[in-house]
């Protein structure tokens, strides 16, 4: 019996990209965020499709992903959002990858490494305007830029920040961050490449587009369904499995570890070949649904390492090998990652990125 697998609709990704581009000025670049294996969708196929659609900027969390991306995408700008160590500068230079400067000490280290090689390294300055994570504090930008310029070895070709909170009906916190970012720009040449907005910010606030908008979760189909937003997008990933076994069981039948579910009537239990080792969250035990034969069926008992059990009802015509939809659409019903994330008290990002990277990805389009 096969493992579960993932299907990614690249045609729908193209539709999402076109919907975004139609609402954004031609002067603003789309920076496609492909962290965490493109949010679980598969780094190279997703990025190559976006490049074919004219996307010229990609952002990864770590350098190794950017290096892998460069092997397939030769001309795009690649930006690493995490801290790159100075001893990795040869990879940056050889593969034409742009790092983020996270603080003054980090910038000076990269500058020294570049000077040792007799070259200048392009870099973007990360400004912490209120996220409290990576970046130079907004009120330390002037001193940081001055010292980095004096050191030599760096070309601060870009500047960026990241919103901690974007609420379209109460944008006070985001507005404060945007004002701090704009104040920081006074200490840099006007020609630097400026990018501030994340997916949610770009959805509601075109005034913060600047030179580039970093787009992640919306292009994968989540967080951009509000008709008040500038664009709407649809999920591009489906996760499927197969029925491994179907059995008739009587009332009072215990299912799974520690018998956390007991049947109330004669029914059929389908064992499905997916489990928490594949990324199917244990919080879905006795709470989640799957689609079989176009119908919703309840996950019963605890999610185990490689299998789940599903009550398909007493009269369902279900056989071993039948397709099971964990995330996606079947018949007239659908289960998407935002539904699972609500049950698990998390966010769609975690549901998607938790799908085991070793599972087969099948690409459509």
Q: What does the block give as tokens for 63?
A: 């350098």
Is 62 assigned a catalytic role?
A: no
- In angstroms, what CA-CA distances link 203 with 29, 232, 338? 15, 9, 18
Torsion from C-alpha of 174, 178, 181, 185, nearest 10 degrees: 170
CA 75 to chain centre: 23
C-beta separation of 62 from 80 below 8 A: yes
Task: Give residues with Cβ within 8 angstroms of 190, minimum separation 6.
Answer: none
Catalytic pick from 27, 257, 280, 349? 257
CB atoms within 10 A of CB 9: 21
**DSSP labels, 314-344:** TT----TT-EEEEEEEETTEEE-HHHHHHHH
> How big is the CA angle at 63 (ends 114 and 155), to the nearest 5 degrees?
35
C-beta separation of 309 from 270 below 8 A: yes
As a whole number of angstroms, the distance between CA 255 and CA 186 comes to 64
Catalytic pick from 27, 35, 265, 329? 35
As a whole number of angstroms, the distance between CA 334 and CA 339 comes to 10
Catalytic residues: 35, 257
């Amino acid at each position: 019996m096969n493992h579960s697998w993932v299907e990614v609709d690249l045609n729908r990704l193209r539709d999402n990209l076109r919907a975004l581009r139609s609402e954004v000025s031609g002067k603003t670049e789309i920076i496609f965020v492909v962290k965490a294996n493109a949010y679980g969708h598969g780094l190279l196929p997703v990025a190559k499709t976006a490049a074919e659609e004219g996307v010229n900027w990609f952002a990864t969390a770590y350098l190794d992903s950017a290096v892998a991306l460069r092997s397939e995408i030769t001309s795009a700008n690649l930006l690493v959002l995490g801290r790159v160590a100075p001893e990795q500068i040869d990879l940056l230079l050889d593969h034409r990858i742009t790092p983020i400067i996270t603080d003054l000490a980090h910038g000076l280290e990269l500058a020294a490494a570049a000077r040792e090689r007799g070259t200048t390294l392009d870099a973007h300055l990360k400004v912490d305007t209120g996220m409290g994570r990576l970046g130079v504090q907004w009120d330390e930008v002037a001193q940081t830029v001055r010292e980095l310029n004096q050191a030599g070895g760096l070309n601060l070709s870009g500047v960026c920040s990241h919103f901690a909170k974007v609420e379209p009906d109460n944008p006070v916190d985001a507005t404060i961050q945007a004002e701090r970012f704009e104040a920081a720009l006074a200490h840099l040449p006007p020609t630097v490449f400026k990018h501030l907005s994340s997916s949610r910010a770009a959805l509601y606030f075109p005034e913060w587009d600047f030179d580039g908008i970093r787009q992640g979760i919306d292009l994968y189909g989540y967080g951009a369904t509000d008709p008040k937003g500038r664009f709407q997008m649809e999920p591009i990933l489906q996760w499927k499995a197969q029925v491994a076994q179907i059995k008739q069981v009587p009332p009072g039948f215990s299912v799974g570890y520690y018998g956390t579910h007991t049947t109330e009537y004669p029914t059929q239990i389908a064992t499905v070949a997916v489990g928490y080792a594949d990324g199917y969250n244990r919080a879905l035990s006795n709470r989640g649904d799957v689609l079989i034969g176009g119908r919703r069926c309840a996950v019963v008992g605890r999610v185990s390492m490689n299998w789940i059990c599903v009550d398909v009802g007493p009269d369902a015509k279900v056989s071993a090998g039948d397709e099971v939809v964990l995330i996606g659409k079947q018949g007239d019903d659908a289960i998407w990652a935002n539904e699972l994330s609500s049950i698990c008290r998390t966010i769609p990002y975690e549901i998607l990125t938790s799908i085991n990277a070793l599972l087969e990805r099948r690409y459509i389009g």
